[in-house]
Amino acid sequence: MATDECRLRTEEGVEALLEYCAGRLHAADAVVLESHLAGCAPCREFAAAQQTVWQSLDAWEPAIETQGFQSRLNARLAEDSTPAWKDRLRAWSSGISWKPAIPMAAAFALWAAISAPPRPEIPAQAEQVRPEAVERMLEDVDMLDQLKLNAQ
Amino acid sequence: MKARLWGAGTLLLMLLTSYPASARQSGGAQKGPARTGANTIERLRRMSPEERKKALEKLPPERRRQAEERLRRLDRMSAAERDDLERRYDNFQRLPSARQELARKMFRNFNDLPPDRRNDVRAGFERLRRMSSAERSAFLKSREFSQQYNRREQAILEDYAELLQSPQL
Ligand SMILES: [Zn+2]
């Protein structure tokens, strides 16, 4: 995809933007996308709005989390865009005896933090914007409900 | 065995807390292209009363009241209705932002109408939804349309018809 072709024009482009906002776009693709974002206000606006949605929802995540750590890790390990470190972790954890795990965990946590993909930096004043983001989600949902937009 | 589990638990905890939040967000049950709005409604609905209060308390009173009412409406829906709405919310998020804004503007104008006029306009929405694109443009130019609705209502219905042209909707 050309750097200057607006991502909002194609489904594929929108998909890439969404992946980017979720922090899942591969680094090389993210660089290309970021150079487009630098020159395209509609895409920046779209990305910032998505980021706001994510941040708002993430703020509630700890309180409504019902899955255990293990299932969350399993879900993470099973993600399709598996970075190499996850493969290494999977191989490593399948053969491991957990006894010496504590010092290793510290080292591993550091490694994971360093090698994890970077979070996209999209300006969004998370603290101030949260109630409005919630309000907007509720408004959108209510609108789709009441106006039967895209209902079948 | 206990120590073993504890060691494993510590490792997992450290991994989870050290991994960036952006990646953590995508680690749940949601998969595939439905990620944007995935579980949005479910998450909104599952907020505890305390969380609801906290999320909305900074809003001006009238807007807060409206948001609370909208949450209650979600509470009253059946699971099937919520699923359907979840899917539509997801599609809506994929519209270009200009289309999304058009929809929001139209919906606000609609909400500002007096209740009895809202019912008439709602009937108009229903009618437009069942029409083909050609039938819609004919209807919007018709005498019936201009006699049945005032200028403000006509503008709302015209926006609605415009939105129905979006391929995602
Ligand atoms: Zn663009």
Which pLDDT value is given to residue A76?
46
Give the C-alpha separation, A27 to A38, whole Å.
16
Which pLDDT value is given to residue B9?
41
- For residue A21, give the DSSP letter: H
Q: Which two tokens stand for residue B39?
A: 């579980």
Domain range annotation of chain B: 35-94, 96-169
For residue B8, which residues of chain A lie inside 8 Å, CB to CB?
Answer: 98, 101
Restricting to A residues 17-46, those with a Cβ less than 8 Å away from any Cβ of B are 18-19, 22-24, 42, 45-46
Give the C-alpha separation, A77 to A86, whole Å.
6
Which pLDDT value is given to residue A28?
75
B125 CB-near residues (< 8 Å, 6+ apart): A147, A148, B157, B160
Give the C-alpha separation, B154 to B70, whole Å.
26
Q: How far is B134 from chain A (nearest CA, A)?
A: 18
- Neighbouring residues of the ion ligand 1, judged by CB less than 5 Å: A 6-7, 40, 43
For residue A109, which residues of chain B lie inside 8 Å, CB to CB?
Answer: 14-15, 17-18
B146 CB-near residues (< 8 Å, 6+ apart): B154
Domain range annotation of chain A: 3-59
Task: Give A109-130 pLDDT, tens digit per residue.
Answer: 544 444 444 445 444 333 333 7
For residue A98, which residues of chain B lie inside 8 Å, CB to CB?
Answer: 4-5, 7-8, 11
Torsion of CA B106, B56, B17, B32, to 10 degrees: -20
Examine the pLDDT at A94 and tell me if it is beyond 50: no
In terms of Cβ atoms closer than 10 Å to its own Cβ (0-12, 13-18, 19+), residue B56 is: buried
Task: Give B92-108 pLDDT, tens digit per residue.
Answer: 888 888 888 899 999 99
Task: Give A34-47 pLDDT, tens digit per residue.
Answer: 888 888 888 888 88
Q: How far is B91 from chain A (nearest CA, A)?
A: 8
**Nearest CB to A116: which of B19, B107, B125?**
B19
Looking at residues A21-30, what average pLDDT do you find? Answer: 77
- CB distance A108–B11 less than 8 Å? yes
